Structure 1
Amino acid sequence: MKFRGIGAILLLAGILAAQQKKLAPDFTVTTIDGSKVTLSELKGKVVILDFWATWCPPCRMEIPGFVELKKKYGKKIEIIGISVDRSVDPVKEFYKKNKINYPVAMATRDILESYNSIYRLQYIPTTFIIDRDGYIYDIKVGFASKSEFEKSILKLLSDEKK
């Protein structure tokens, strides 16, 4: 009988631990156009942090959806593209050609290590959806549709700020 009670407590503790939100690691990046973006300065907005590359077909497929979402939700959200390309030149070319309307930066060792500590960044695209308080709401690995991202955005925008 004692073991059942202890087992139930351990199970409940495991469930509660799994439900704890993780604070997204803060960072400052320099975008490909030279401006600075700091995550902690974006509190109050839903943030989509997308690790991608120009040579990655699923990454390229997601970008038109991100452009549309940024147009639709404007200042309520921020999308930040973190390119893992080795050179900035193809990123700048891709940025212009695809009329990307959100900040894009090159991956730095610091941001890769910070986000790798939360979720092992093995694949791209890997996209972190961060709530208005700076906590990670969801992580998408691989291609996700515009509608999948929009569901998360709508949920997070409709949640009352606590």
Structure 2
Amino acid sequence: MRRFFTAFLFFVIGAALLQAQEPAKQDKGLTLTTVTGKRLHIKGTENGLDIREYRGKILFLEFWGTHCPPCLMSIPHYIDLSKKYKGKLAVLAIEVQDTPADLLKSFVTKHKINYDVVDYRTGMPLVNYISRRAQWRGSIPFLLIFNSKGEYVTSQVGLLPEETLEGVIKTLEKMKTEKGNEQNNTTPAKPVAK
């Protein structure tokens, strides 16, 4: 019994040490390359993600697949929104059905996708990181939304209508504007009476 307890204690301590090291590993960040060759520099933060190339933009991060009908239906929405909100919205789609990178690149070209797409093998470190943090269990499409500061806002399994996605963008933009106005809103000093 004593040996069992000692072994169990070492197991618990070892697991705690591994968990304690996880944020340190993520602090180093990772670099992903999209199917078109764009490099993305990503770090996990306490409240979300810091993707250098997307700073200041709302981020839609979607796990999707080329053989998933609802995923395919979302592509035109993201294309339209990427055009309409250029400079304000970034879309990053990670293909999780393991379509080979060369076929995925052809798919992106054929469908005129104007946002960033990463193949599964390249995106695996980020997929694993998100899976642990967001409790993702494999259903697709799986969308995570981050505000312009990289802070996690919400996630959704399943297809969302374009109107809903646009509503989210408008709400986050409005919140950003209102917050900016609050920070810049200073009450002028009253003149000193003589």
Q: Is residue 148 of structure 2 the alignment partner of residue 114 of structure 1? A: no
Q: What CA distance in whole angstroms lies between the structure 2 residues aligned with 1:134 and 1:27?
A: 16
Q: Which runs of 5+ in 1 are unaligned?
A: 1-24
Q: Is residue 69 of structure 2 the alignment partner of residue 54 of structure 1? A: no
Q: What CA distance in whole angstroms lies between the structure 2 residues aligned with 1:46 and 1:27?
A: 20
Q: What CA distance in whole angstroms lies between the structure 2 residues aligned with 1:35 and 1:89?
A: 15
Contact 1:54 1:90 in 2 (8 A): no
Q: Is residue 84 of structure 2 the alignment partner of residue 72 of structure 1? A: yes
Determine which structure has greater relative contact order: mean sequence separation of CA pairs < 8 Å that are 6+ residues apart, divided by chain length. Answer: 1
Shift of 1:27: 4.9
Q: What CA distance in whole angstroms lies between the structure 2 residues aligned with 1:159 and 1:37?
A: 26
Partner of residue 97, structure 2: 85
More moved, 53-62 vs 36-45: 36-45
RMSD: 1.7
Bigger Rg, structure 1 or 2:
2
Q: What CA distance in whole angstroms lies between the structure 2 residues aligned with 1:27 and 1:62?
A: 27
Q: Which runs of 5+ in 2 are unaligned?
A: 1-25, 43-49, 181-194
Match of 1:63 among 66, 72, 75: 75
Partner of residue 18, structure 2: none
Query: Structure 1 vs Structure 2: percent identity of aligned residues?
Result: 31
More moved, 86-95 vs 128-137: 86-95
Q: What CA distance in whole angstroms lies between the structure 2 residues aligned with 1:114 and 1:91?
A: 22
TM-score normalised by L of structure 2: 0.66
What SS is found at the alignment partner of 1:28?
strand
